[in-house]
Structure 1
Amino acid sequence: MGKIVVSENVSLDGVIQDPTDEDSLGRGNWFTFIGGQDREEWTKVEFEEALGAEALLLGRRTYAWFVARGWASRSGQWADRLRNLPKYVVSSSPLDDPTWTNSTVLKGDVVGEVSKLRQQVDGDIVVYGSGRLVHTLVEHDLVDELRLMTYPIVVGAGERLFGETSGVKPMHLVDTRTVGDGLALLTYQSVRDA
């Protein structure tokens, strides 16, 4: 059975929106707040995560972000790994011709389609970005693990990782890791009723 792993870059105040200042949020490019050793260590962690993944699950906007930045044609080990992974895209608007190799559009009921995907894939199904999709997955208890790359900055505005839920969603901290000099990778697993 597959494991849904949400992997996010997040500010101290939980913001995931517009880390590269492309949505004109007006809060600067907080993703590039890090540099040097932090950036190198972040890259290593992200590449390790890609090597451990069996598939990617992306919302349409995040998928389009990757494609617009040339990930479909980039060279290098990280780009090659992402290109070769099966990619599943959740989209409520038409995406009839996905351009990134090994991409499949999941149509219909998101919860049902993701539940089926968990049965079909053996291993980590990594979700990058995809805020709306993550909200749905959390609400329906489909997230098995959260990996939060936490940036030492308070953004003060923007879409947060977690929105309202119909109930409490307990998590258990399973790992903390310092990445470079300024980042913290926090890993949580969902606590489900026995």
Structure 2
Amino acid sequence: MRKVIVNNIVSLDGCYADATGNPLALNMDAAFDQANLDSISAADVVLLGRDSFDGFSSYWPFIADAPEPDDPDAPEARALSEVNRAISRRYNAIPKVVVSDRGGVPSDNAWAQTTTVVPRGAAASWVADAKRNGDGDIVIFGSRRMWNGLLGDGLIDELHLMVSPTVLGDGVRLFGVPADLDRIECRRYDGSPNVQLRYRVLAPRSDRAS
């Protein structure tokens, strides 16, 4: 049976974005990029909520072939690293499924031909069927509200959390439902203060308040 894997960044105090909803408050460095490339390279499908899809599809399709930066040492040049170009190429090719009640993907979206939309009410049944019948991992990036619903339904298999050495104090909480987890791996990256924690989901805790 294929696995559904959530790949998100989180602060030390459990937030995936600051109080304004900005996830860039966290340390999205080269280690974060490499972890995302590893995850999408191992997957056969990317599953996204609509807000994440709209944001990603306005950015990632164009990184692969973007011109080289004038100053390769400028901080913003990391966005056009070989790792990020590889992420862009994989995103462009891999099938994407969007959970949304906002209608179809516009025809002028760069990912229109590789994206399927599933209504929110059908998301759990789609995931359950895909886990039984498909091959390769289903990976989720961002999409916090969507995957928390699937976590509560017992449909998430693993959580890969890149822990940023950041305490926000106030922000958007990553988890909306409780769950019991078992650690698979703790991974460090050379030159980065980030740590990736990988957990197996044992069971949702629907009997407890979130």
For the superposition of Structure 1 and Structure 2, which TM-score range results when normalised by the shorter chain?
0.7 to 0.9
Q: What residue ranges of structure 2 are gaps of 5+ in the alignment?
A: 65-84, 205-210
CA drift of 1:116 comes to: 1.7
Report the AA paired with residue 57 of structure 2: V
Q: Where do 1:111-126 residues align within 5 Å?
A: 111-126=124-139
Give the aligned length.
179
Partner SS state of residue 137, structure 1? helix
| Residues 183, 134 of structure 1: alpha-carbon distance in 2 compared, 3 angstrom cutoff | same
Residue 117 of structure 1 and its aligned partner are, at CA, apart by 2.1
Please give the alpha-carbon distance, in whole angstroms, between the structure 2 residues aligned to 1:45 and 1:116.
Answer: 27
The aligned counterpart of 2:197 is 186
CA-to-aligned-CA distance 1:75-134 (integer Å, 9 cap, x gap)? 132211111111000002223436214111012422112212222321210000001101
- Which of 11, 20, 30 is matched with 1:25 structurally? 20
Measured against aligned partners, the alpha-carbon deviations of 1:25-64 in whole angstroms (never above 9, x if no partner) come to: 1879423x46xxxx23332222122211111000000000
2:45 aligns to what SS in structure 1?
Answer: strand
Find the residue that maps to 2:169 and give its secondary structure: coil
The alignment-based identity, stated in percent, is 31
Instruction: Name the SS of the counterpart of 2:14 in structure 1.
Output: coil
Contact 2:31–2:192 (CA under 8 A) maintained in structure 1: no
CA distance in 2, matches of 1:123, 1:26: 32
Residue number among 62, 69, 88 corresponding to 1:73 in the alignment: 62
Q: What is the alpha-carbon distance in structure 2 between the residues aligned to residue 157 and residue 43 of structure 1?
A: 25
CA RMSD of superposed structures (Å): 2.3
- Residues 91, 65 of structure 1: alpha-carbon distance in 2 compared, 3 angstrom cutoff: same
| Structure 2 CA distance for partners of 1:26 and 1:137, relative to 1, 3 Å | closer
Aligned residue runs from structure 1 range 1-194, under 5 A: 1-17=1-17, 25=20, 29-31=24-26, 33=27, 39-69=29-59, 71-75=60-64, 76-97=85-106, 99=109, 100=111, 101-107=113-119, 108-165=121-178, 169-179=179-189, 180-192=191-203
Contact 1:27 1:155 in 2 (8 A): no
**Greater C-alpha Rg:** 2
User: Greater CA deviation, 73-82 or 85-94?
Assistant: 73-82
Contact 1:54 1:125 in 2 (8 A): yes
TM-score (norm 2): 0.77
Structure 1: runs of 5+ lacking an equivalent: 19-23
User: Is the 2:7–2:36 Cα contact (8 Å) retained in structure 1?
Assistant: no
